């Protein structure tokens, strides 16, 4: 005779319908992020990025703290007296005054850590799938190729925003708290939107570029070399070309500078205040960035048409 | 979509890799049961399986799963694929890997967990699934691959070398699992080099050579189609030398071996005949006329190896 619990504890089969492939992209992004956060090197790089953030965070606070002092007065650092004028001069290039350049500069400096993080993330998240041949497992599930790429881009986008947009927003909140917060938040609300716009631009461009380069070279070391080429050699080359030919358009070779200009456009910064001068116009930077995005999309489209067996 | 639509349909499918023709005008229809896919290396088996799974796009023709283009992600709701490679994220546990695969199919967390546990139990991995994948043996990897292919309960299962690296006991367990799945109404397309195992599992095979399907059907049907090919038949009778003399008088008999080395060590004669169908007709008459007592009559080369050997012009080893 059946026990009463047999009827009570019966398993009821799932009656739902599976969600679409966009949902699968988010699941893929979550799984990718977990894999990424298992890497010890990644935590070391995050710590480095955190140092940059704390540098901006506490320096912004310090400058407000000493703003009431006379320039000739001094404060003690490690028992050594340092004049207020010297401190202000030292931090002047960072423009830690809650303006567009504060956030622009912060993201610029975070870029040094970000490119290394992305080189590693690209090879771990995408390169390994191609190099080890695990792609067929994902593509055998009910998702399209673009959904796979979207999942990977989402994971990379989260990393980008964790390192740039989120801390920049904290700096914006801090800048408001350190001044007349009501008027700051009202008057500089567009700066918050600008930070989000800058973050969105970085997310789209860098996630596509990361995936495209990871698909191309797959391994960590070649990936790091390509990124160093893009973000170290090309800027050096562009600076040399600008100085040689006296034409600021050569700076368009520098992708990170283009992204910086796009970001400052979002932050509504005056082009005349951007350093170093001269700089290309905002629209030129947007155009160069759009060209990079288009190149990445076209390359990815070509590569994902098939997982070829015979080369 | 009606269930009368073929589960898997290849229509005049060709695939070029640059100048290499991997598949040449393949037409194939699967509706159910277990089908073995055999052929030599480079015959186009992997290309065919990947196309059935929507991993490759045909250069010409169309591949559809229940009427939906196999390239469309919706078709993959009906297909489970167990690839021959075993490259995973080595830091993941087997359980986590199958769970992620279930999530990719669009299931909720709870349902993914339930399905993961169910399939792990089914492939005999539920006790060992918490170990990291890098520590798995080849057989355990095969089981995990099978589990991820089964997790969304597909109608069509495409298995590329599923028995490779599995010990004899595990192999028997998996063969039973495949038969149970087929009994549930699933359609299984299994590519394997291990023809003995495949023969135990199914009698229905697709034989490929040089990018073409050279034969489809049961091993017996394929053998019957090869009428112009000689067949070897073992006959156990009381008076072998006399029967040999009678057989040599038949027009269809090419040769008779009265002292063959048989695998089971038994005694009998082996006849090599031209046309199997006509030979068996003539032999039947001979038995009746001379009242021969035939203890055993067995075609020796209806095995997959032998048929493959005929079709591929070699030993039949893939």
Q: What single string gives the DSSP state of each residue in B145-201?
A: HHHHHHTT--SEEEEESTTTT--HHHHHHHHHHHHHHHHTT-EEEEE-S-HHHHHHH
For residues A280-297, average pLDDT:
95
CB within 8 A of A278, min separation 6: which ones?
Answer: A242, A248
Pair type for strands B253-257 and B269-273: antiparallel
Which residues, in sequence order, are bridge partners of residue B209?
B212
Distances (CA, A) of A233 to A1, A114, A227: 80, 16, 9
Cβ atoms of B211 and B21 closer than 8 Å: yes
Cβ atoms of B130 and A38 closer than 8 Å: no
Residue keyed to tokens 């910064």: A269
Cβ atoms of A190 and A259 closer than 8 Å: no
For residues B224-252, average pLDDT:
81
Residues of chain B with C-beta less than 8 angstroms from the C-beta of A128: 89
Whether B99 contacts chain A with CB within 8 A: no
Distance (Å, rounded) from C-alpha A181 to C-alpha A172?
10
Residues of chain A with C-beta less than 8 angstroms from the C-beta of B76: 140-143
Distance (Å, rounded) from C-alpha B192 to C-alpha B72?
27
Q: Are A141 and B88 within 8 A, CB to CB?
A: no
CB atoms within 10 A of CB B294: 15
For residues B68-80, average pLDDT:
91
Domain extent listing, chain A: 20-60+97-305
Q: Distance, in angstroms, between A49 CA and closest chain B CA?
A: 25
Cβ atoms of B218 and B229 closer than 8 Å: no
Residues of chain A with C-beta less than 8 angstroms from the C-beta of B92: 35
Cβ atoms of B137 and B91 closer than 8 Å: no
Distance (Å, rounded) from C-alpha B64 to C-alpha B9?
5
Residues B43-62 pLDDT 10s: 888 899 999 998 888 989 99
Distance (Å, rounded) from C-alpha B186 to C-alpha B120?
18
Higher pLDDT, A148 or B229: A148
Q: Return the residue of B nearest to A38 by Cα.
A: B91
Q: Return the residue of A nearest to B158 by Cα.
A: A140
User: Based on the number of CB atoms within 10 Å of its own CB, is A299 exposed (0-12), middle (13-18) or buried (19 or more)?
Assistant: middle
Residues A161-201 pLDDT 10s: 999 999 999 999 999 998 888 888 998 899 999 999 999 99
Left, alpha or beta for B25 (phi > 0: left; psi -120 to 50: alpha)? left
Q: Distance, in angstroms, between B171 CA and closest chain A CA?
A: 22
Whether B139 shows a pLDDT value over 70: the answer reads yes
pLDDT at B316: 41
Distance (Å, rounded) from C-alpha A110 to C-alpha B269?
85
Q: Return the residue of B nearest to A22 by Cα.
A: B106
CB atoms within 10 A of CB A21: 23
CB atoms within 10 A of CB B210: 15
CB within 8 A of A303, min separation 6: which ones?
Answer: A215
- Phi/psi of residue B66, nearest 5 degrees: 50, 40
CB atoms within 10 A of CB B185: 10
pLDDT at A7: 54
Q: How many CA atoms does the CB half-sphere of B175 hold within 13 Å? A: 19
Residues A14-29 pLDDT 10s: 667 778 888 889 999 9
Whether A245 shows a pLDDT value over 70: the answer reads yes
């Amino acid at each position: 005779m059946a026990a009463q619990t047999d009827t009570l504890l019966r398993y009821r089969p799932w009656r739902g319908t599976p969600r679409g492939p966009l949902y699968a992209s988010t699941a893929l992004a979550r799984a990718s992020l977990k894999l990424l956060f298992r890497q010890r090197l990644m935590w070391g790089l995050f710590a480095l990025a955190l140092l940059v953030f704390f540098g901006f965070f506490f320096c912004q606070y310090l400058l407000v703290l000493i703003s009431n002092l006379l320039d000739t007065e001094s404060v003690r650092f490690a028992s050594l007296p340092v004049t207020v004028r010297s401190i202000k001069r030292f931090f002047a290039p960072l423009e830690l005054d809650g303006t567009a350049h504060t956030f622009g500069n912060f993201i610029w400096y975070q870029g040094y850590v970000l490119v290394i993080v992305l080189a590693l993330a690209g090879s771990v998240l995408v390169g390994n799938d191609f190099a080890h041949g695990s792609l067929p497992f994902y593509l055998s599930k009910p998702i399209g190729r673009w959904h796979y790429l979207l999942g990977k881009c989402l994971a990379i986008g989260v990393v980008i925003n964790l390192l740039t947009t989120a801390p920049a927003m904290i700096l914006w909140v801090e800048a408001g708290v350190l001044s007349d917060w009501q008027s700051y938040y009202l008057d500089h609300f567009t700066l918050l939107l600008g930070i989000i716009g800058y973050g969105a631009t970085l997310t789209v461009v860098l996630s596509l570029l990361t995936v495209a380069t990871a698909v191309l070279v797959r391994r960590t070391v070649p990936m790091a070399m390509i990124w160093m080429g893009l973000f170290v050699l090309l800027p050096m080359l562009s600076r040399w070309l600008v100085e040689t030919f006296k034409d600021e358009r050569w700076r368009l070779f520098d992708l990170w500078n283009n992204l910086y200009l796009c970001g400052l456009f979002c932050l509504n910064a005056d082009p005349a205040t951007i350093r170093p001068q001269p700089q290309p116009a905002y629209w030129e930077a947007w155009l160069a960035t759009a060209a990079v995005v288009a190149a990445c999309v076209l390359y990815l489209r070509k590569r994902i048409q098939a997982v070829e067996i015979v080369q | 979509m009606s269930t009368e639509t073929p589960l898997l349909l290849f229509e005049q499918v060709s695939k070029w890799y640059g100048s290499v023709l991997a598949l040449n005008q393949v037409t194939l229809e699967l509706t159910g049961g277990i089908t073995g896919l055999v052929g030599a290396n480079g015959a186009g088996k992997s290309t065919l399986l990947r196309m059935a799974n929507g991993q490759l796009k045909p250069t010409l023709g169309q591949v559809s799963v229940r009427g939906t283009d196999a390239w469309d992600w919706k078709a993959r709701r009906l297909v489970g694929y167990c690839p021959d490679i075993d490259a995973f994220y080595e830091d993941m546990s087997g359980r986590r890997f199958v769970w992620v695969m279930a999530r990719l199919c669009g299931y909720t967390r709870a349902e993914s967990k339930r399905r993961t546990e169910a399939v792990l139990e089914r492939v005999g991995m539920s006790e060992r699934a918490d170990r990291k994948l890098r520590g798995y043996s080849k057989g355990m990897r095969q089981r995990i691959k099978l589990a991820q292919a089964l997790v969304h309960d597909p109608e069509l299962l495409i298995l590329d070398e599923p028995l490779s690296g599995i010990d004899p006991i595990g192999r028997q367990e998996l063969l039973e699992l495949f038969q149970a799945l087929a009994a549930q109404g699933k359609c299984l397309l299994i590519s394997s080099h291990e023809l003995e195992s495949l023969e135990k599992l199914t009698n229905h095979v697709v034989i490929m050579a040089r990018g073409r399907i050279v034969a489809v059907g049961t091993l017996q049907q394929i053998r019957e189609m090869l009428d112009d090919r000689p067949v070897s038949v073992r006959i156990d009778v009381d008076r072998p030398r006399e029967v040999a003399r009678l057989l040599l008088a038949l027009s269809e008999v090419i040769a008779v071996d009265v002292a063959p080395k048989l695998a089971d060590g038994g005694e009998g004669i082996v006849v090599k005949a031209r046309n199997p169908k006509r030979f068996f007709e003539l032999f039947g008459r001979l038995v009746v006329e001379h009242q021969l007592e035939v203890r055993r009559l067995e075609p020796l080369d209806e095995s997959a190896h032998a048929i493959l050997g005929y079709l591929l012009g070699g030993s039949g080893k893939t």
